[in-house]
Amino acid sequence: MARFGRIFQSVDFRHAVVAYSGDGILQDRKLELSAPLTSDLVVGSVIDASGALIPDLSTPIAGVLVEPANAGDIFVVIASKEHTILKDQALVFSENANRDAIIAAMASDKYRFASWAEFALPTT
């Protein structure tokens, strides 16, 4: 998603939230939101179908952003559940969200996570 002439406030991109990708092409997908974003979102934001940050377990999760998004966008790029391992400490929720409960619910919905100690995956 090129935004020529526009500078992001956040310099973090996909490497800030993706610990490992099993497929360079299928690691993400484009998601069309039900309404334009009302505010800028950083990489790692866990959003619902409207682009709002997840406040609690009752809100269905649409995805985890792997590219920054700006207010007014109707398309965002989210991580593929099946082809990525995410850094759980890099996820962004709404202010009063129960982080551990939401991450546990995401894990039961095919999201995979690595903690900071597990980022270096063995290759042999």
Which letter does DSSP use for residue 65 in this model? B
Domain assignment present for 5: no
pLDDT in tens, the chain (124 residues): 444 445 445 556 777 888 888 888 889 999 999 999 999 999 999 999 999 999 999 999 999 999 999 999 999 999 999 999 999 989 999 999 999 999 999 999 999 998 766 555 555 5
Q: How much is the pTM?
A: 0.83
Determine the Cα–Cα distance for residues 83 and 117; give it in Å rounded to an integer.
Answer: 20
- Where residue 36 sits, what CATH number does that domain have? 2.40.300
Give the domain range for residue 74: 14-111
Determine the Cα–Cα distance for residues 101 and 78; give it in Å rounded to an integer.
Answer: 21
Q: Tell me how many domains the chain contains.
A: 1
